[in-house]
Amino acid sequence: MNCNIVYSVILPIRNEEESLPQLFDEIEQTFRGKSYEIIAVDDASGHADHFGKWEALRTGIARAKGSIIITMDSDLQDDPKELPILLTTLNQGFDIVSGWRKNRQDPFYKIVLTRFANILYGFHDFSSPYKVYRKEALAKLPKDGSLLRYSFLFARTFGLHIAEVPVAHRARLYGQSKFGIIKYVRIFYDLILIRLLFCGSNRI
């Protein structure tokens, strides 16, 4: 067992068997010669009672041995070749660095809905799943339910040093998105509750 792992890559998986060989190969190429681990967590793919992305992420984070935690989707839209610039930025004194999907390759409704949230909270891409965290910073953030989705909001509120960096975003090659309009309505509902929760703070 390697107790000196530096990078832990957490991959929530749901019905992404076709994309995984390429994704694992790209991660291996990116981290060649470095100490890393990949923690792929299946959220009970194919079952009606699947556990969900956020439970998968929490499970992976709890088992991570690295001092730097990386989260990304498993559908190949997040490109591992962008990791060096995220990690270089992290080493400039930041606690969390998020990949800004500047040229996002997603359906129009997704882009429009998330752009509204970005304007509301002053981010370029607050919902990006592609993030690198210092382990001690991630430990300070709430993870119950789907709160990890809003890690950037909480990080800013708690005074952590955060940055967004433009990254390439690829079109989906396999399968279909798990996110429909109903899920985005729920996200906006959560955002409103979070804003009310921190209404006394000048950080949100």
**Residue 97 near residue 37, CB atoms below 8 Å:** no
Range of the domain at 146: 7-197
For residue 191, what are the CA distances in angstroms to 57, 63, 114, 203?
20, 28, 11, 14
Q: Which amino acid is at 78?
A: D
CA distance 51 to 42: 9
Backbone φ, ψ for residue 148 (5° rounding): -65, -25
Decide if pLDDT at 182 tops 80.
no
Does residue 119 sit within a domain?
yes
Residues 178/87/132/98 CA torsion (nearest 10 deg): -60
| Residue, of 91 and 153, whose pLDDT is higher | 91
**Residue 86 near residue 166, CB atoms below 8 Å:** no
Q: How many domains does the chain have?
A: 1
Does residue 32 sit within a domain?
yes
Output the CA angle 99-52-198, nearest 5 degrees: 60
Residues 11/29/19/152 CA torsion (nearest 10 deg): 40
CATH code assigned at 23: 3.90.550.10
Q: Encode pLDDT of 128-139 as tens digits.
A: 999 999 999 999
Q: Encode pLDDT of 45-87 as tens digits.
A: 555 444 678 889 999 999 999 999 999 999 999 999 999 999 9
**Residue 113 near residue 185, CB atoms below 8 Å:** no
Strand-pair category, 7-13 with 131-134: unpaired
Does residue 179 sit within a domain?
yes
Does residue 189 sit within a domain?
yes
| Tokens read off for 20 | 């995984």
Which pLDDT value is given to residue 107? Answer: 80
Residues 148/152/153/155 CA torsion (nearest 10 deg): 100
